[in-house]
């Protein structure tokens, strides 16, 4: 399985369990690693046989900016589901970063990573 990776997609979202997170929002950062057989696209030199990562980046931003949820787990699942709508994608690893999480001690980042594949 070949890999197409898109890292550091930034979008404003209103996810979290605290009222301030829902009211003020914050920046989320998303990385996706797609499992794709790129041979058909390479042989035909045809974009429609692989993943248009420009379109995917816009879809990721739309999901993050879309309907709020309490948990990063839920947001990560929504993003994985979106990635799997692309016919060429067989599996995906999604990492959601929440670098401005409301934590009272110094920290660098909070992330969740999930792996999903076609059933």
Q: Is 44 a catalytic residue?
A: no
88 touches 50 (CB < 8 A): yes
Set 50, 98, 101, 109: catalytic member:
98
Active site residues: 98
């Amino acid at each position: 399985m070949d890999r197409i990776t898109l890292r550091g997609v930034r979008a404003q979202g209103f996810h979290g369990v605290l009222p301030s997170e829902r009211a003020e929002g914050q920046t989320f950062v998303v990385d996706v690693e797609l499992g794709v057989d790129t041979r058909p696209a390479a042989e035909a030199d045809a974009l429609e046989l692989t993943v248009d990562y420009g379109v995917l980046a816009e879809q990721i931003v739309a999901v993050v900016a879309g309907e709020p949820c309490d948990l990063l787990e839920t947001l990560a699942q929504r993003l994985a589901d979106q990635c799997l709508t692309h016919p060429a994608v067989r599996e995906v690893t999604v990492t959601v970063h929440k670098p401005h999480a409301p934590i009272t001690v110094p920290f660098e980042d909070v992330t969740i990573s999930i792996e999903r594949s076609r059933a």
